Amino acid sequence: MLFPFSEAPRSAASDDPGSSYLTRKLDQHFELGPREQASLQRFLQARVQTVDTGVSIVEEGDAPREIHVILSGWACRTRRASNGRYQILAFHLPGDVCDFGAFAMRRSDSSIVAQTPLRVASIGQAALRDLSGSSPRLAQAFWRESAAAASVQREWLVRICQQNARQRVASLFSELAARLYVVGLADDAGFALPLTQADIGNACGLTPEHTNRTLRELRTGGLVAFERGRVEFLCWDALIELAGFRGDYLGFRTLAAEKPPAELDLVAHML
């Protein structure tokens, strides 16, 4: 079956060794049975590799050979612009499925570069076909991830076209917080952000210098602090107020839930 999307109740998060981040995200939407969990395990563990910081797992222009799931670490998607500079197009966080539709294109339109030491699972075309054949649920889940990523991509355009520097950084931080929160890598205090100020600026369409000043404004303004590779929330309410952040475009269930779980303090503010 190809297009059988429907809702399913939410299961408690499991903690599989190799795919816990992904499982946590998928639990947002899909009750994965033990067979599917095992199936997912198997497919992810088949081809796991470690990648050093700065190394590409996909190179712009290459023919797509496989898709990837980030098991741990950060990666970012970049494209070389006509002026020779690189543009950061997206961040791929633990649990993210990168490039689900890659096999549909002759060539990759962008690179994926490890931003930290990375553990990635690679899934070839044949394996992906097997996976979707053996578990339509997983295919659905992957597809949903892909659709959510497209929605995030669009939000990045809105961010750059409609917001000023402070708002851009604030909304990027909010987005990352929400996405990391879902996989347990952010809490109400903050999260680790393995990027330079220049990277943050690039993703927001700002120069490094201006990013620096913007970050200072946010810090002295008592909103967020980015220091030593960590984002610390100083006043979450003020942050999402400035960012105009609503998490709905991320497609998470909890962010649009009827009855948000009590412990999700951070998330509750995103509604």
Partner DNA sequence: CGTACTGTTGATCAAAGTCAATTGAGGTGG
Partner DNA sequence: CCACCTCAATTGACTTTGATCAACAGTACG
Site residues (vs DNA, CB under 7 A): 164-166, 196-198, 205-210, 212-216, 228
User: Which C-beta is closer to its own copies: that of 83 or that of 228?
Assistant: 83
Residue numbers 183-222 binding its own copies by CB under 8 A = 202, 205
Check binding of 41 to its own copies (CB under 8 A). no
b/e map 164-179, b = 16+ CB within 10 Å: ebbbbbbbbbbbbbbb
Site for its own copies (CB under 8 A): which residue of 34, 82, 228, 262? 82
User: Which C-beta is closer to DNA: that of 69 or that of 215?
Assistant: 215
User: Which C-beta is closer to DNA: that of 49 or that of 207?
Assistant: 207
Tokens 């120069």 appear where?
207
Eight-class DSSP state of 230: E
Check binding of 129 to its own copies (CB under 8 A). yes
Residue 45 contact among DNA, its own copies, none, beta carbon within 5 to 8 Å by kind: none
Q: Distance between CA 21 and CA 69 in Å, rounded?
A: 10
Query: Which one, of 22, 34, 11, lies nearest residue 135 by Cα?
Result: 34
Query: Which one, of 85, 96, 38, lies nearest residue 251 by Cα?
Result: 96
User: Which C-beta is closer to its own copies: that of 16 or that of 130?
Assistant: 130
Check binding of 114 to its own copies (CB under 8 A). no
Check binding of 87 to its own copies (CB under 8 A). yes
Is residue 35 packed enough to be buried (19+ CB in 10 Å), middle (13-18) or exposed (0-12)? exposed
Check binding of 243 to its own copies (CB under 8 A). yes
> Phi/psi zone of residue 229: left (φ > 0), alpha (ψ -120 to 50 degrees), beta?
left
Site for its own copies (CB under 8 A): which residue of 107, 213, 216, 230? 107
Check binding of 158 to its own copies (CB under 8 A). yes
Eight-class DSSP state of 63: P
Q: Report CA torsion sign: 255, 161, 214, 90.
A: positive
User: Which C-beta is closer to its own copies: that of 49 or that of 153?
Assistant: 153
User: Which C-beta is closer to its own copies: that of 103 or that of 188?
Assistant: 103
Check binding of 39 to its own copies (CB under 8 A). no
Eight-class DSSP state of 96: P
Question: Shortest gap between Cβ of 132 and its own copies (angstroms)?
Answer: 4
Segment interacting with its own copies, rule: CB under 8 A, options 16-24, 41-49, 75-83, 258-266: 75-83
> Residues near 76 by Cβ (< 8 Å), separated by ≥ 6?
88, 89, 90, 91, 92, 112, 113, 115, 199, 203
User: Which C-beta is closer to its own copies: that of 92 or that of 185?
Assistant: 92
DSSP class per residue in 122-176? EEEHHHHHHHHHH-HHHHHHHHHHHHHHHHHHHHHHHHHHH--HHHHHHHHHHHH
Q: Which residues bind its own copies (CB under 8 A)?
A: 1-5, 7, 77, 79, 81-83, 85, 87, 89, 101-107, 109-110, 125, 128-129, 132-133, 139-140, 143-144, 146-148, 150-151, 153-158, 160-163, 202, 205, 243-246, 248-249, 251, 253, 256
